[in-house]
Structures are given as C-alpha cells and as structure tokens.
Chains A and B, each alone.
Chain A
Amino acid sequence: LAKTTQPISMDSYEGQEVNITCSHNNIATNDYITWYQQFPSQGPRFIIQGYKTKVTNEVASLFIPADRKSSTLSLPRVSLSDTAVYYCLVGNAGGTSYGKLTFGQGTILTVHP
C-alpha cells in the first residue's frame, strides 16, 4: 500500500503560484497519482491525474519525477476560492485491490487576500 505524505498546511496569497508536494516512496509500478480538492462539507473533487512526467489541464499541472517517489501539484495564480484541502491519492485498484484507494491527511491550503 503506497503511503503518502503531504504537508499538513500551506499559506499563500492571491495571484501566487502554489506547489504542493506529496511523497510516495513505495509507489508500485502500476499505480497512478491522483489529486483531489475538497471544500468543507462537500465531497472531494478530482483535479488531475498522472503516471509520469508532466500533466497539465485547465486548472493545474502535475509534475512527476522519473523515480515517481514524489509528485507536485502546481496551482497557477491562486484565488481565495482555492482555499481547500488537497489530497494526493496513489493507487491502482486493479482486480480486488480497491482497498488501496485510501486517502492521507491532505494539505490545508489557505489563500489570503
């Protein structure tokens, strides 16, 4: 089971770029890396997913080094509405391995005016 480690909290200001790093030293060959965003009293929402190198979509970028033992979520030009908890999830529930889809503590991002 690929355990993930993230900073508990981060602070930023509007307009800045925010990078949140997740460590997953025992990631398996067929594991994917997925990031979620969660607002209070709501379900987590998928942000981005990758396997290796760099992935970019309309809201974020995901950087994964060659050894895949960590990943960095990059949020460009954050706004107040980006204040949320961000989770890194590592796994591949092929077959009956659904128990691998467990979440860590997450990172509380607070964006200040």
Chain B
Amino acid sequence: ETGVTQTPRHLVMGMTNKKSLKCEQHLGHNAMYWYKQSAKKPLELMFVYSLEERVENNSVPSRFSPECPNSSHLFLHLHTLQPEDSALYLCASSQGTGPRGNTGELFFGEGSRLTVL
C-alpha cells in the first residue's frame, strides 16, 4: 500500500467511448502526476499538477484530458481513443513544493490497465 489508489485497475473501451481514470492520494502531497507506460517502453510523463494547477503537459493529444479538483484527487478523462493508447496508466504523487522542490521521490499507484479496442 503506497497511499496512492487508482481506479479502475482494468478498463476496456471502444474508440468511441468516454471513460475516466481516477487517482486518490492519502499522503498529504501537493503534486500529482499521470504517466503512461506502453509495452517495453519507459514511463512517459503526461501531466503534472502542483497545488491543483497544471504545471506540465508533455504534448499529450487532446483526447486525454486531466482534471485536478483538489490536491488529493486526479482524473484522466478519455475520449475517442486509439488502439495505440492501450497502456498502463500510472498516477503518482509527491511533496512538490517548497525550497527543495521535488527531489524525485514519487509515490505511485498500482496503475490502470487500459485496452482500447
């Protein structure tokens, strides 16, 4: 148990569906992240929120839409996805502000395995 919970753990959707991934952290952190991990590829940073404001968006297609209503919750809204978007989507959190910033100590959830048909 890392203190970061992701739901659902598995999701199968068609290309015309709309679904959402949810992440919740119970660690009191103020930064949250979405990473994508495709088969045999390194983790790709998608979005970063710090104090509920998006601070990083790594050229992610608009069919992925993040939402951070508060510092404990993070969503990834999915619509009109493509089969190549099938991957493990990982949420992470960290204590991301202050004079030392974020030193790279990230706490990850178990991930949501997404399959797009």
- Chain A interface residues toward B at CB < 8 A: 30, 32-34, 36, 41-46, 49, 87, 89-99, 101-106
Q: Do residues B92 and A43 form an inter-chain contact, with CB atoms below 8 A?
A: yes
Which residues of A lie under 8 Å from residue B108 when comparing CB positions?
A: 43-45
- Assess A49 versus B104: contact at CB under 8 Å? Given A41-B111, A106-B42: yes
Which residues of A lie under 8 Å from residue B104 when comparing CB positions?
A: 32-34, 49, 89-93, 101
Q: Do residues A42 and B55 form an inter-chain contact, with CB atoms below 8 A?
A: no
Query: What is the number of residues of chain B that contact chain A, defined by CB distance less than 8 Å?
Result: 34
- Assess A43 versus B111: contact at CB under 8 Å? Given A98-B31, A99-B48, A101-B106: yes
Q: Do residues A42 and B43 form an inter-chain contact, with CB atoms below 8 A?
A: no
Which of chain B's residues has its CB closest to A40's CB? Answer: B88
Q: Do residues B42 and A44 form an inter-chain contact, with CB atoms below 8 A?
A: no
In the assembled complex, the Cα of A46 lies from the Cα of B2 at a distance in Å of 10
Max chain A CB contacts within 10 Å: which of B33, B103, B107, B111? B103
Q: Do residues A98 and B90 form an inter-chain contact, with CB atoms below 8 A?
A: no
Answer yes or no: B113 CB below 8 A from chain A CBs.
yes
- A interface footprint on B14-46 (CB within 8 Å = 1, 0 otherwise): 000000000000000001010100000011110
Q: Do residues B101 and A94 form an inter-chain contact, with CB atoms below 8 A?
A: yes
In the assembled complex, the Cα of A25 lies from the Cα of B100 at a distance in Å of 22
